[in-house]
Amino acid sequence: MSKWSERIINNKEYQKKWEEKNKEYRREYKKQYYIENRERILQHQKKYRIEYPEVKKEYYQKNRDKISERYKGYYQENKDKISKHRRNYHQENLEKHSKQTKKWRKENPEYQKNRRINNPEKMKEIDKRHYNKRKRDLGFKPLNKYFEGSEAHHINKIDIIYIPKEIHRNISHCLENNKNMEEINKFAMNFKI
């Protein structure tokens, strides 16, 4: 090994040791540097992103799992802070948000149709919830999942349990005057998950 290569290796080792020793100093220096040169740094970053857009895509593709894990971790640690910030931002920008929503709906009219076609069970549940909220003054809080051939049965004014249609139709019942509610609720509790 030549003297030059030994120097390079020694220099790298020295630099690592120095960085470890002066971690706090470097962190403070970077913060101060950013504060003093913020505009210049931001302009440079913007220029770089415009000139080399593929670099960001490549980095994201190579590190997709790592990035998503980092975001998930951050979200879990700061859930309340994030939701509070979103609520505040939404309240402060209601007009802007409504304009964006209207614009998007005009540009994507097929979305609502496709949503209904692609999610018939979910849309059926949404329609039921909509109907119940306006017509019968009943809530719609499912205690189990919808399954094929089931109907929503109210065990009280808010909660529902999906039970087979045959059982729901065979036992006549009424929530308002409590007719046969105990009997049908016994069957319904078997389907609660």
Domain ranges of the chain: 3-80, 120-189
∠ at Cα 137 (136, 138), nearest 5°? 90
Rg of the chain on CA atoms, in Å:
30
Q: With contact defined as beta carbons under 8 Å apart, do 143 and 161 qualify? A: yes
DSSP state of 144: S
Q: Residue 18: pLDDT band by 50, 70, 90 thresholds?
A: confident
> 156-183, pLDDT tens digit by residue?
888 889 999 988 988 888 887 788 888 9
Mean pLDDT value of segment 107-133: 83
> 25-72, pLDDT tens digit by residue?
888 999 999 999 999 999 999 998 888 888 888 888 999 999 999 999
In DSSP terms, 152 is beta-bridged to 162
> 79-97, pLDDT tens digit by residue?
999 999 999 999 999 899 9
Question: How many angstroms separate the CA atoms of 151 and 168, rounded?
Answer: 7
> 133-148, pLDDT tens digit by residue?
666 677 788 899 888 8
Q: Which amino acid is at 17?
A: K
Whether the pTM exceeds 0.75: the reply is: no
Q: In the predicted model, is pLDDT for residue 98 greater than 60?
A: yes
Cα four-point dihedral sign 188, 186, 132, 165: positive
Q: With contact defined as beta carbons under 8 Å apart, do 82 and 75 qualify? A: yes
